[in-house]
């Protein structure tokens, strides 16, 4: 496998991991994992794409936390 194909596969895997985390972030533990993965992407990887993906994960996790804290706080709201 040449270098270009290898980089494309790695980038695709990173996108799939991010989409999986964001898709399941309504579960509280996955939301925490999404936040941790986003922070790792920001600190560990120095490429623009990886840092952008990390910020998307962090903001998505924080947004889901805010949305679901409002939904769970209402009487008769969403129950786990």
Q: Tell me the pLDDT tens digit for each residue of 11-52.
A: 888 888 888 877 777 777 778 888 888 888 889 888 888 888
Which parts of the chain fold into alpha helices (H)? 3-23, 28-44, 48-73
Domain of residue 43 covers 3-73
Cα–Cα–Cα angle for 40, 1, 18, nearest 5°? Answer: 25
Residue 79 in domain: no
pTM above 0.75, yes or no: no
Question: What are the structure tokens assigned to 75, written together?
Answer: 């009487």
pLDDT the model gives residue 80: 52
pLDDT band at 10 (very low <50, low <70, confident <90, very high): confident
Q: Which class for 55: exposed (0-12), middle (13-18), buried (19 or more C-beta within 10 A)?
A: middle
Residue 78 in domain: no
Is residue 78 pLDDT above 80, yes or no? no
Is residue 79 pLDDT above 60, yes or no? no
Residue 22 in domain: yes
Helices 28-44, 3-23: crossing angle, 10 deg rounding: 150
Phi, psi dihedral angles at 27 (to 5 degrees): -85, 130
Number of domain units in the chain: 1
């Amino acid at each position: 496998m040449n270098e270009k194909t290898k980089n494309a596969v790695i980038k695709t895997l990173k996108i799939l991991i991010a989409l999986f985390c964001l898709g399941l972030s309504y579960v509280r533990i996955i939301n925490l994992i999404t936040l941790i993965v986003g922070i790792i992407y920001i600190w560990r990887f120095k490429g623009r794409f990886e840092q952008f993906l990390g910020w998307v994960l962090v903001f998505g996790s924080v947004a889901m936390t805010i949305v679901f804290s409002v939904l769970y706080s209402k009487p008769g709201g969403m129950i786990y």
